[in-house]
Structure 1
Amino acid sequence: MIRAVLTGTGSALPARRVSNAELAEQVDTTDEWIVERTGIRFRHIAGEGETTATLAVDACRAALTAASLAPADIDLIVLATATPDQTFPATATKVQAMLGIDDCVAFDVAAVCSGFLYAVQVADSMIRAGAAERALVIGAETFSRILDWEDRTTCVLFGDGAGAIVLEARESVDDVTDPGARGILATKLHADGRHNDLLYVDGGPSTTGTVGKLRMKGREVFRHAVVNLAAVMGESLALAGLTSDDVDWVVPHQANARILDATARKLGLAPGKVVVTVDQHANTSAASVPLALDTAVRDGRIKPGHIVVLEAMGGGFTWGASVIRF
């Protein structure tokens, strides 16, 4: 059977790295307050000339190098972002042009922090349907540009960055327990728009005509995140015919260290199986899962044959999980 096999990962971060101590000079907060409640110590903030598209391109180039491919080999680009360079055209088309790809399918997906999981599902479906052979799937954000820097409860939580993976159509065995069953084994997605007011941006082209700023009710989001993420990870594993005992690594959305800990406990996973980068990157929305994935691949933790679960929840609410044999 044909599966979408992950053959390369890449990531990119803005040059400017901002510590909690530096933030404390600008807003009423402290390093201790941020670390205790979130686990965050640093984040990267985009500077002049750094945009969602430029970060995405750098991540794509790294992923293509890892996959031993050239840009011309790509026939699909799916970019997940809540902070596009422009309202239109899709930032994916800017990435296409900057990579020098003359023609390929290229579009954006908007599902906030879950966007990368949505993009993975779209690309996987198109590859399995024969509509694409090699895809770049990207999560890229410049969230610093939609933050209210006078709201200490939100501005300390987010950062900028990008992550990308290459998916290729490959023959794979049917039996998911066989080490030869590489690729995306199962993905489960959800959305529930009734919770819009818990995490949203208070602007938009058709409402205020402005970009708006991020607003969040953190306590309520935390409660939903722990329940929803544990449930969808279980659902995705069941779809793949696996259990939590089969999992080598979980690569979660990097929103809050306490959410990561609570979700792992609910699933009975050892903390050592959870990839954590929130302390270094903060919450980079759609970029956080591919950023963390690339980090764990490049430092040698995630190896060929490992069962990896990706998961995320974001505004909407949207949430999802994907099971991959690397």
Structure 2
Amino acid sequence: MKIGITGTGSYLPEIITTNDDFINHRFLGPDGSEFEHSNATIIEKFHAITGIVERRYAPPELKTSDLGFLSAEKAITDAGIDKEELDYIIFAHNFGDVQTGKIQGDTLPSLATRVKHLLKIKNTSCVAYDILFGCPGWIEGVIQAKAFIQSGMAKKCLVIGGETLSRVIDPHDRDSMIYSDGAGACILEADSNKGEILAHASQTHANGEAYYLYFDKTNDQEGCTDTRYIKMHGRKIYEFACSNVPQAMADCVDKAGVGIDDVKKVFIHQANEKMDEAIIKRFYRLYGKEAPDGVMPMIIQEMGNNSVATVPILFDRVRKGKVENHGLKKGDVVIFASVGAGMNINAIVYRI
């Protein structure tokens, strides 16, 4: 049975925040200490490492579920299906709906249920649930949807990845410049003539690595001690990803039974430009090769890191010819890969 992606959609908020917008922030170390370097130097180094020039933030009136709904509408239209035929709606996120100015995430009801409500789906057999798997959440949702279809439990599934990280960042933390908002979605169907999942792989590393990404108080020692923000051990994540993701990707490629030269694109989580480049370089070196030019599309420069949304947004935009010098054609073999909080890793080998 061929199980493939028959439609995609994405939503990038219109509010653009540039690196220059952080020039007057009061960045502090985890202990509240001031940095020796000026903000201009901090921002310059940040850009050199991450590649990020600007990022998108959601307007106050839109929550994560709203972004997911907007991307889901586009995916349903793109697939040309009747929304009432959906068997599952799977929504991957990390923090639920966080309203502007609030300090609490809202997951009652689930974001998937909220999307079903916004889509006005009447079919009660359409099951809606959320998945928490860090940044690799959307890929994991696709893997779960494939399992439902393969087992005969479903024929059509909607998988969404969305986040509004701009509402859970500490303004005094330099890492806050990485994060952004957005959502991407896809439709998976059985007996697809638009593509096929060839193999997948997932891992959870929690023996010492579980808290590389975590929630903690602001770096401002005079700030509210009860409010928590997204935090990370950046160096540890970089080393972990470079050490573990390439092999996980290679295992998936080998499982799919395709050759490394058959891979035309790698849609990797847009986390950090330098880290992604290092992962791809090490991945190809496992096969004694150099990474081909153009194999890794990148839009982190203008999108930032919106967690679970990066891969579906990137795939949607390349698929629809919206990324310069990148395209896809029937029969191309591509890889989806991600790493994130958990620490979780996953990959899919997919034939267009």
Fold in common (TM above 0.5):
yes
The counterpart of 1:39, out of the listed 29, 34, 51, is 51
Change in Cα spacing, 1:27 to 1:308, as seen in structure 2 (3 Å) is farther
Q: How many Å separate the matches in 2 of 1:56 and 1:137?
A: 10
| 1:6 alignment counterpart | 5
Q: How many Å separate the matches in 2 of 1:89 and 1:46?
A: 21
Q: How many Å separate the matches in 2 of 1:60 and 1:211?
A: 32
Matches within 5 A, 1:68-87: 68-85=80-97, 86-87=106-107
C-alpha distance after superposition, 1:26-72 (max 9, x if no partner): 34533422210110111111221111101001111111111112322
After TM superposition, what 4+ stretches of structure 1 lie above 4 angstroms from structure 2? none
Instruction: Give 1:240 deviation, angstroms.
Output: 0.6
CA-atom RMSD, angstroms? 1.8
Tell me, which stretches of 5 or more residues in structure 2 are unaligned?
28-38, 98-105, 218-225, 285-290
Q: How many Å separate the matches in 2 of 1:227 and 1:101?
A: 44
Match of 1:112, SS state, is coil
Instruction: Give 1:246 deviation, angstroms.
Output: 1.1
| 2:349 alignment counterpart | 323
Instruction: Give 1:302 deviation, angstroms.
Output: 2.0
Instruction: Give 1:3 deviation, angstroms.
Output: 2.7
Between the two proteins, the alignment pairs up a number of residues equal to 311
Q: Note if 1:186 corresponds to 2:207.
A: no
Matches within 5 A, 1:1-326: 2-28=1-27, 29-30=39-40, 31-85=43-97, 86-102=106-122, 103=124, 104-152=126-174, 154-170=175-191, 182-193=195-206, 194-202=208-216, 212-268=228-284, 269-299=291-321, 301-326=327-352
Larger radius of gyration: 2
Q: How many Å separate the matches in 1 of 2:26 and 2:94?
A: 25
- Identical pairs, percent: 32
| 2:36 alignment counterpart | none
The amino acid across from 1:33 in the alignment is K
Q: How many Å separate the matches in 2 of 1:253 and 1:169?
A: 26
Q: How many Å separate the matches in 1 of 2:227 and 2:351?
A: 39
Match of 2:135, SS state, is helix
Instruction: Give 1:250 deviation, angstroms.
Output: 0.3
Please give the TM-score of this superposition, normalised by the length of structure 2. 0.84
| 1:177 alignment counterpart | none
Please give the TM-score of this superposition, normalised by the length of structure 1. 0.91
Conserved in 2, the CA contact under 8 Å of 1:244 and 1:267?
Answer: no
